[in-house]
Amino acid sequence: MRVDDWYRRVHFPSGATAELGFGYEYWILDPTIYEGHAELKARAADLGYRWTKRELAYELVENLLTEVIAAAGGVEHSLAALRDAVARAQAWSDQGATRATPESVPHGIAHPSVTDAWYEFANLLTWARTVEERLDRGTRRRRGVAPLPRQGLAHALRPVRLKKRTDKLLTELRSGPVGEARFLANFTLHSALLRSPNSGAQLDQDGKVTLPIPDKQGERISNWKVLPWKDHRNGVVFAEELWTSMETFMEGLIGAFERSVPRRLRKPTN
């Protein structure tokens, strides 16, 4: 799986003597800009630790890159499970010799594998949203407490070139399916699934299993009944497109870290 390769490149980089992200040079070392700094400082004091400010900040940021990789791995695992569920549904449909009907008369199928597919589609949306959240998210405002700046990997980076490259990659990621996935995932988390897990699937004119999803969404979804369904989109296709954009982003992000290894941690070149 791609996530295994990304972990390998981070933990065993070819051009560095330490894993990517290791070293103070990568990060903004002001603990007060990060969520949890007061709580972690208090916890350390309870255990008898006395960290300097930059040590405390480093404790808060050292895993940010691997946590983004973990979330991207969630997308990959959900996609693999979705592919498997759709393949099982297709095999069942083919075995039953289900015949396609005229385009104006959709042909649906119901099978436990289709239920699995809808749950995995929802999982994929959630993991895609999680990737974005671990890169850039707002903070909750609390009465009487000064608000913190935005959180996530993109806001903790110190090197200017690495920061600019990450911001550009994130903008490109959001311009594709991941940007829409956030609206779909938020609706799924707070209101309802896009389709009931027991709603079944549809067969296209070639007899292929499809998962109908609503037309492209560019804003917050208020209710399932207001979703438009005119474009006959297929959730399987959407999931594959989302994963392609995620792969491109992750390759770019890790490549940016590989090009930003601090001088003292670079392997000598012959």
Q: What is the pLDDT of residues 126-145, one digit of tens each?
A: 999 999 999 999 987 777 67
Does residue 227 belong to any structural domain of this protein? yes
Average pLDDT over residues 203-214: 92
Q: Give me the chain's average pLDDT, please.
A: 93
Q: CB of 6 within 8 A of CB of 72?
A: yes
Whether the per-residue pLDDT at 146 is higher than 80: the answer is no
Q: CB of 245 within 8 A of CB of 132?
A: no
Count: domains in the chain: 1
φ, ψ at 39 (rounded to 5°): -65, -40
pLDDT at 248: 98
The domain in which residue 197 lies consists of 63-265
Percent of the chain at pLDDT exceeding 90: 79
In angstroms, the CA 78 to CA 31 distance is: 34
pLDDT at 3: 98
Average pLDDT over residues 185-194: 89
DSSP class of residue 148 equals P
Average pLDDT over residues 78-99: 89
Q: Which residues contact 10 (CB under 8 A, 6 or more apart)?
A: 19, 20, 21, 65, 66, 69, 254, 257
Does residue 2 belong to any structural domain of this protein? no
Does residue 202 belong to any structural domain of this protein? yes
User: pTM for the whole thing?
Assistant: 0.93
pLDDT at 113: 95
Residue type, 181: A
Does residue 29 belong to any structural domain of this protein? no
Does residue 15 belong to any structural domain of this protein? no
Does residue 30 belong to any structural domain of this protein? no
Does residue 41 belong to any structural domain of this protein? no
Does residue 234 belong to any structural domain of this protein? yes
